[in-house]
Structure 1
Amino acid sequence: MSLLNTEVKPFKATAYHNGEFVELNEEQLKGQWSIFFFYPADFTFVCPTELGDLQDNYEEFKKLGVEIYSVSTDTHFTHKAWHDSSETIGKLTYPMLADPTHTISRNFEVLIEEDGIAERGTFVVDPDGKIQIVELNAGNIGRNAEELLRKVKAAQYVRANPNEVCPAKWEEGEETLSPSLDLVGKI
């Protein structure tokens, strides 16, 4: 079964955020857009490049009312140690969620059970707590924050304009489509 349009399942987690440990649960997501950005593990290779790319674009996400939550099965203590020891990770200002119990990774169906780590999964959650975008990458393929930003803008646009759809490569401000019988076979 697809996770699209399903509500985020209940969870409680500790995050490392701006020098502090903070608690988070699914109820705190309501009323805002959220991105759950799962990655395999701290102190690895592709992961810091992705997390750094998200940070480089974080202000653009914030302007759209989107909070980013990076998530791995490491502990919040490990997140702090990585933050303190890596130049790239030390720049992060969004919450780094710890999932040592694997609850969140199982909820989002990205846990690799035999390894105890998460797949590279990206989930965009709307203000109602429903998943609107699901993306999975193989462990050796990094993601692109600018493409994710484009997808978030599209998701926000169609939420605000339910009778329109965003075609391939749609960028903010470009023409959308209004599905109708007259449009069938004309594209």
Structure 2
Amino acid sequence: MGIIGSTIKPFKATAYQVGKDFFDVTDEDVKGKWSIFFFYPADFTFVCPTELEDMAEQYETLKGMDVEVYSISTDTHFSHKAWHDTSDKISKIQFPMLGDQLHTISNNFGVLREEMGLADRATFLVDPEGVIQVMEITSEGVGRNAKELVRKVKAAQYIRANPGQVCPAKWEEGSDTLAPSLDLVGKI
């Protein structure tokens, strides 16, 4: 089953967010705005804090684009708070950190490594209707790039606002797009 174009499945998780402490987040809470689900294997690890710090550095840009970020691991919300309180890199995070100790969200997105009880390193961009528009999954040792994710969000938002247009490789905001047609076949 393809995941791009599918609708997210129901979930409920407890999140930690600085200034808000603990609160519940459901699939219904994310509808109506763009959302990034940023899965990582575990708190207190190695590549994960570098990626989360990178995402934290892009968070204000993403918020300005009406995008909420949810980082998710199979750790508890208590572990997220402890990590936030003790790590220089993680202390920069302002977005909600969801605990998925029951593996509901990781299973819903198809990124749970059951034999380990950990989520894959995976990113999903979900539109305001709850439909997955972008996904990226890497091996555990390969960190992601939040600036590239911002570019992909801009492209997804552009094509949503401009039906009939598509964004070519390396498209940047303000660059030319394409309008697919029979006339373009074999000419690009």
Please classify the TM superposition score into its range, dividing by the shorter chain length: over 0.9
Residues 25-56 of structure 1, C-alpha deviation per residue, up to 9 Å, x if partnerless? 00011110000000000000000000000011
| 2:157 paired with 1:159 | no
Q: Matches of 2:78 and 2:36 in 1, distance apart?
A: 22
Task: Give 1:45's aligned residue.
Answer: 46
Task: Give 1:9's aligned residue.
Answer: 9
Task: Give 2:97's aligned residue.
Answer: 96
| 2:115 paired with 1:110 | no
Q: Measure how far apart 1:3 and its partner are.
A: 1.0
TM-align CA RMSD: 0.6
Q: Matches of 1:91 and 1:166 in 2, distance apart?
A: 32
SS at match of 1:57: helix
Task: Give 2:18's aligned residue.
Answer: 18
Q: Measure how far apart 1:120 and its partner are.
A: 0.4
Residues 130-176 of structure 1, C-alpha deviation per residue, up to 9 Å, x if partnerless? 10011100000000000000000000000011100000000000000
Matches within 5 A, 1:68-83: 68-83=69-84
Q: Matches of 1:100 and 1:166 in 2, distance apart?
A: 38
Give the residue type in structure 1 aligned to 2:119. A
Residues 72-124 of structure 1, C-alpha deviation per residue, up to 9 Å, x if partnerless? 00000000000011011011100000000000000000000000000001000
User: Structure 1 regions of 5+ residues with no counterpart?
Assistant: none
Q: Matches of 1:16 and 1:64 in 2, distance apart?
A: 22
Aligned residues: 187
Q: Matches of 2:30 and 2:78 in 1, distance apart?
A: 23
Q: Matches of 1:6 and 1:180 in 2, distance apart?
A: 26
Task: Give 1:144's aligned residue.
Answer: 145
Give the residue type in structure 2 aligned to 1:5. G
Provide TM-score, normalisation by structure 2.
0.98
Q: Matches of 2:50 and 2:163 in 1, distance apart?
A: 35
SS at match of 1:104: helix
SS at match of 1:24: strand
Provide TM-score, normalisation by structure 1.
0.99
SS at match of 1:23: strand
Task: Give 1:131's aligned residue.
Answer: 132
Give the residue type in structure 2 aligned to 1:102. H
SS at match of 1:178: coil
